[in-house]
Amino acid sequence: MGLGYTLSEELRFLGGEVLDRNFGTYEIPSFSRVPRIEVVFVKNDALAPQGGGEPPITTTGAVIANAIFDATGARLFRLPMTPDRVRAAIAARPAARLPDAAAAPI
C-alpha cells in the first residue's frame, strides 16, 4: 500500500465479488502520476544487506489519514483517499471535532 494506492488505486467489490480481475479495468499509477523518488545508497559494512522498500510503505495510509484529520478534523477509514471522500468526510465530521485555530500552538 504505497502512496499511489492510498490516493488513487482501489480494488472494487460488488456483493463480495472482485470486479477488477485484470489490468484492463484495474487502474494502477503510471510513472507520470507518481512523485519522483530519489534513492541514496549508503555503504555500511557493519550491517548485512536487508530489504528497504516494504516496511516503510505499510504505514502510508494511516499517516495520510492522520494528516487529513489534523488538517480538517475529518477521519477517513477507506482507501483510496480521493478528493470526493475527503470532502464527504469533512461534511460529515462532528462539530466538536472542528479544528480550532486559536488553540493551535505558535
pLDDT digits (tens, 9 = 90+) for 68-83: 999 999 999 888 888 8
DSSP string, 23-61: TTTS----GGGS----------TTS-----SHHHHTTHH
**With a threshold of 0.75, does the pTM exceed it?**
no
Low-confidence ranges of the chain (pLDDT < 50): 1-2
